[in-house]
Amino acid sequence: MIYLDYNAGAPVKPAVRVAVMEAMDRQGNPSSVHRFGRAARKHMEEARAAVGAFAGVRPAQIIFTSGGTEANNMVLRGFGERAIIASAIEHDSVLANAANQSRLPVTRDGVIDVTRADEILEGLTPGAIISVMLVNNETGVIQPVGEIARLAHRYGHFIHTDAVQAAGRLPLDFRDLGVDFLTLSAHKIGGPQGIGALIINEKIAVAPLVRGGGQEMNRRAGTENGAAIAGFGVAALLAADDLLDMPRLTTLRDRLQARLQDAGGEDVVVPGADAPRVGNTLNIAMRGVSSETQVVGMDLAGIAVSAGAACSSGKVKASHVLSAMGFGSDVAGSALRISLGWNTQEQDITRCVNAWSALHERTQKTKKAA
């Protein structure tokens, strides 16, 4: 199998695996005062410092969570009944916390419409929570978070960014972004699954989502997952290598896109192609062929790709991201997300092109026969 679904979760890096295994061999609860507990605490705080350095923040601003979804829920549920305004292209873990509230619209290229955002934010009662992802998980389009943050603060609102898909693909600096809260997830950068972080502005109090203990500086109860945190710390240190590797991945992505466009001709649509994108992500629609058919066909050919955000139900549905960009069901229901990462090689791209081209040829013959 060729794995081209890094946006769903990157393969664990070898050094991360070693760190996790070493941590599992150690004893001690980091909240215990004996020497085993103190040692566990020391290793955990070293990992916290690594994640903090990765995002340009002090370790005390890091709250470890079970992943990006919990981190998003923590900040969006941590302010009582305040309005939550999200962009129309956010991950479901954000949209589910802003049900029935207005959305910040995006352009045809998948970029938040800053002019409309300005109008919407100005009309809100001060103190709303604005949530805008830094990089879209389906298209790879980079969002103007800095501009939205300035608008949010101008009108007295708080700003949160889900930076899960930006980590390791763009330089991250919490202060430069101007946000109040930022979400990370380890398994997007070659770390373990089941561990993430919420980075906070310490001047703003957020109510704990999980209660019943004093862990994480009284912000998130429950014994910390020491092994996963250790792996997260190593993955954060290695993320600098991912940034250095991004030009190579961008070249591979662009080559893949061009070859698929040549093979598919007028049947191909590439949402977000004209906007700034991170270099590892390609969203491509084979017009008129369902995403599910394509995912299954590629899987049978030995290529792992997805139709968009990984879904716990395992079902493939039309993309709400592409719908928000103004595409009809012929595109929104026919798109694949192909995402590259640290272990992707040139031959993987060739095999992907061959499998996709063969699938396209078969589906065209089926259409003509019908």
Q: Are residues 227 and 169 in the same domain?
A: yes
Whether 176 and 325 map to the same domain: the answer is no
Percent of the chain at pLDDT exceeding 90: 92
18-71 tens-digit pLDDT: 999 999 999 999 999 999 999 999 999 999 999 999 999 999 999 999 999 999
pLDDT at 312 (0 to 100): 44
Confidence of residue 313 (pLDDT cuts 50, 70, 90): very low
| pLDDT number for residue 297 | 97
Same domain? 85 vs 206: yes
Overall average pLDDT of the 245-263 stretch: 98
- From 238, 267, 295, the end of a domain falls on 238
Position 153 pLDDT exceeds 90: yes
Digit-coded pLDDT (tens) for 71-88: 999 999 998 889 999 999
- Structure confidence at residue 80 (pLDDT): 82
Q: How far apart are CA 362 and CA 109, in angstroms?
A: 30
**145 and 223 together in one domain:** yes
311 as an active site residue: the answer is yes
Same domain, 60 and 97: yes
The beta-strand segments (E) located in 128-270 are: 129-131, 158-162, 181-185, 196-200, 268-269
Pick the closest to residue 259 from 339, 342, 351 (CA basis): 351
Final residue of a structural domain among 238, 260, 294: 238
pLDDT at 100: 80
Residues 226 and 339 in one domain: no
**Domain boundary residue, one of 177, 210, 238:** 238
Average pLDDT over residues 130-142: 98
| This prediction's pTM | 0.95
Structural domains of the chain, count:
2
Predicted confidence at residue 99, as pLDDT, reads: 85
The residue from 60, 204, 205, 311 that is catalytic is 311
Rounded (to 5) percent helix, strand, coil in the chain: 45, 15, 40
For residues 345-367, give the mean pLDDT: 93
Q: Does 252 lie in the same domain as 331? A: yes
Q: What does the DSSP assignment read for 242-304?
A: HHHHHHHHHHHHHHHHHHHHHHHGGGEE-TTTTS-B-TTEEEEEETTS-HHHHHHHHHHTTEE
CATH of the domain at 63: 3.40.640.10
Mean pLDDT, rounded, of the chain: 95
Residues 20 and 159 placed together within one structural domain of the fold: yes
Structural domain of 346: 2-7+245-369
E strands along the chain, which residues? 2-3, 62-65, 84-87, 103-104, 129-131, 158-162, 181-185, 196-200, 268-269, 281-286, 303-304, 335-339
Q: Could you tell me if 33 and 132 lie in one domain?
A: yes
| The residue to which tokens 């698929």 are assigned | 260
CATH number at residue 286: 3.90.1150.10
Mean pLDDT of 191-212: 95
> If you average pLDDT over residues 192-203, what whole number do you get?
97
262 and 155, same domain (yes or no): no
The DSSP-derived string for 121-137 is HHTSPTT-EEE--SB-T
Extended strands (E) in 18-139: 62-65, 84-87, 103-104, 129-131
Q: Are residues 63 and 147 in the same domain?
A: yes
Assess whether 90 and 229 both reside in one domain. Answer: yes
